[in-house]
Amino acid sequence: MKKLILATALFLALGGTGLDAFAQMMGKGEGEIRKVDKEASKITIKHGPIEGMDMPGMTMVFQVRDPGLLDKAKVGETVNFTVTKDSGAMVVTSVEPKK
Ligand SMILES: [Cu+2]
């Protein structure tokens, strides 16, 4: 019984925002670029399920860590990308044309 309580407490703690830095997640996905906004460092990707994160396929806007990542990004292009969850925000850390 104690173990169950401990597991529940840990589960609740990890779900809290205070531990986001500790519980940083990384995922890999594949998708099609729908919009590139270099000025705002944002990219819209219609992506499939993201490996490593509990996320189904959808179209969504991601913040980009480095706007330079968007230099070669083209709307309509199919890409592989990596994303990290940073203080609750989904941040794209790499975008590569799919080979
Ligand atoms: Cu998504």
Q: What are phi and psi of 12, to 5 degrees?
A: -65, -40
Q: Which domains does the chain have, with CATH numbers?
A: 25-97 (2.40.50.320)
Cα–Cα distance between 56 and 47 in angstroms, integer? 8
The pLDDT assigned to 86 comes to 78
Question: Which pTM does this prediction carry?
Answer: 0.75
Report the separation in Å between the CA atom of 78 and the middle of ligand 1, taken as the mean of its atom positions. Answer: 15
Report the separation in Å between the CA atom of 98 and the middle of ligand 1, taken as the mean of its atom positions. Answer: 18
Give mean pLDDT in consecutive 10-residue pieces for the chain, a chain of 99 residues: 59 51 78 97 97 92 95 96 88 93
Cα–Cα distance between 20 and 2 in angstroms, integer? 26
* Contact assessment for residue 32 and residue 8, using Cβ atoms and an 8 Å cutoff: no
The pLDDT assigned to 79 comes to 97
The pLDDT assigned to 83 comes to 95
Report the separation in Å between the CA atom of 47 and the middle of ligand 1, taken as the mean of its atom positions. Answer: 7
